[in-house]
Amino acid sequence: MNGVERSGHTATVWCLTNRSFNNSCEPFVNLENYFPVLLFILVGIGVGVVPQILGRILGPYKPDAAKLSPYECGFEAFEDARMKFDVRYYLVAILFILFDLETAFFFPWGVSMRELGWQGYVTMMVFIAEFVVGFWYIWKKGALDWE
């Protein structure tokens, strides 16, 4: 690949060119702007992987029956750990996430309400009305009733 020096910068910019149109090395993609993203990914991988590798290398590995047995808070397991959960737990969790994400849209709307004017107000009222109708529907269906 060709390295090209940009004027005023000391960093090398690798250019990807379409040489069928011209034979010069005009930068098509400036990869210099992606360096912070690459650095962030590498640091994240390093923080996750390096301690595990060091623990595997430096730590003793002596498995025995007590270490390999399942336990509940230090006690022997009373029953099978794979219990069946009622579907209503999952339904309540999904509904919580749905309505919690709705509230995330209220903050930017509240901050920029003056700039949005009546169009932003009407749009947000339609958005809220959709969720009110959805909440009313799940309430009438009895999805929130716990028996």
Which pLDDT belongs to residue 81? 62
Q: What is the pLDDT along the chain (147 residues), one digit of tens a residue?
A: 444 444 444 444 445 544 444 555 555 567 788 899 999 999 999 999 999 999 999 988 888 877 777 666 666 666 666 777 777 888 888 888 988 888 888 888 888 888 988 998 999 999 999 989 988 998 898 887 877
Fill in the amino acid letter for 88. Answer: R
End-to-end CA distance of the chain: 68
Which pLDDT belongs to residue 48? 95
Which class in CATH covers the domain with range 84-141? mainly alpha
For the chain, which residues make up each domain, given as ranges? 3-71, 84-141
Q: Within 10 Å of residue 92's Cβ, how many Cβ atoms?
A: 14
